[in-house]
């Protein structure tokens, strides 16, 4: 099963422990995760279900292509990382 993990920074605001998830796309994997951790959803996705503007998602170290539809494929043993973008000086 794929694994999803989050940076420590977001966990200051909402609980989102590392967990195994089900799903063959990022959208499916996140839906599975947020079904168990509903409060975390709004911290990662906006009210349109898109990846928030300053959030980034990686599947096996590769940044995803589809930030709106989250259709990027997820292999059975993939590691999904959700982090906040770094910007500014």
Partner 1 sequence: MGEARRCQVSTRKGLFAVERGIDGWRVSAAHFLGDNVTLSMHDPRSGHLFAALNHGHFGVKLHRSEDGGATWREIATPAYPEKPADYTPKAPLEGRPSDWSLKLVWALAPGGADQPGVVWCGTLPGGLFRSEDGGESWALNRPLWDDPRREEWFGGGADHPGIHSVLVDPRDSNHVTVGVSGGGVWTTPTAARANPPPPAWPSSCRPSGKYEPNVQDPHMVAQCAANPDVLWVQHHNGIFRSVDGARTWTEITGVQPSTFGFAVAAHPREDATAWFVPAVKDETR
The dihedrals phi and psi of 63, each to the nearest 5 degrees, come to: -65, 140
**Cβ–Cβ < 8 Å for 67, 50:** yes
**Cβ–Cβ < 8 Å for 5, 79:** yes
CA pair distance 75, 70, nearest whole angstrom? 14
CB 10 → partner 1: shortest distance, Å?
Answer: 6
Q: What residues make contact with partner 1 under the rule CB under 8 A?
A: 10, 13-14, 39, 42-44, 46-48, 50, 52, 54-55, 84-85
CB-nearer residue toward partner 1: 8 or 54: 54
CB-nearer residue toward partner 1: 25 or 41: 41
CB 77 → partner 1: shortest distance, Å?
Answer: 28
CB-nearer residue toward partner 1: 12 or 77: 12
CB 84 → partner 1: shortest distance, Å?
Answer: 4
CA pair distance 37, 17, nearest whole angstrom? 9
């Amino acid at each position: 099963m794929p694994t999803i993990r989050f940076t420590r920074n977001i966990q200051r605001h909402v609980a989102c422990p590392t967990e195994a998830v089900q799903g063959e796309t990022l959208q499916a994997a996140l839906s599975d995760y947020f079904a168990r951790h509903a409060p975390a959803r709004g911290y990662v996705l906006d009210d349109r279900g898109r990846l928030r503007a300053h959030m980034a998602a990686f599947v096996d170290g590769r940044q995803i292509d589809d930030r709106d539809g989250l259709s990027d494929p997820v292999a059975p043993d993939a590691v999904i990382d959700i982090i906040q973008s770094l910007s500014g000086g």
